[in-house]
Amino acid sequence: MKLSSLKLNLTIRCGLLMALSVILMPRVSGQTQKDTLFAVYSPTPVVIDGSGEESCWERTDWHPIDQVWIPYNAKMAPGDFAGKYKVAWDSLYLYLLVEIIDDMLSDDHPDPLNNYWEDDCLEVFIDEDRSMGYHLNNNNAFAYHISLSYDVIDATAYGAVNLKNNVVACMDTIAPNTYLWEVAVKIYNDKFNLSNPEASRVILTAGKLMGFALAYCDNDETTRRENFIGSIYMTQATANDNYKTADYFQPLVLSVKEILSHSLSGHSDAEKKVTIYPNPAREKIRIRLTGKDQQDFRCEIRSLNGSLLISEECTLPENEISITDLPPGIYMVSLFSDHFFVTEKLILL
pLDDT in tens, the chain (349 residues): 443 333 334 333 444 333 333 333 333 333 344 488 999 999 889 999 999 999 999 999 999 999 999 999 999 888 899 999 999 999 999 999 999 999 989 888 888 998 899 999 999 999 999 999 999 999 999 999 999 999 999 999 888 999 999 999 999 999 999 999 999 999 999 999 999 999 999 999 888 899 999 999 998 877 789 999 999 999 999 999 999 999 999 999 988 654 444 443 333 342 346 788 998 999 999 988 776 555 678 888 988 656 789 999 887 778 899 999 999 888 888 877 666 667 778 889 8
Tell me which of 3.40.50.300, 2.60.40.1190, 2.60.40.10, 3.50.50.60 is the CATH number of domain 11-257: 2.60.40.1190
State how far the alpha carbon of 113 is from the alpha carbons of 105, 210, 274, in Å. Answer: 19, 27, 48
Q: Does domain 265-348 have CATH number 2.60.40.3080?
A: yes
What pLDDT, on the 0 to 100 scale, is given for residue 182?
98
Question: What residue spans in the chain does CATH classification 2.60.40.1190 cover?
Answer: 11-257
Q: What integer pLDDT is reported at residue 28 of this predicted model?
A: 39
Angstrom distance (rounded) from CA 312 to CA 323: 12
Nearest C-alpha neighbor of 281 from the set 344, 205, 202: 344
The secondary structure of 78-102 as a DSSP string is TTTEEEEEEEEE-SS-EEEEEEEEE
Q: Where exactly does CATH 2.60.40.3080 map onto the chain? A: 265-348
Read off the pTM: 0.69
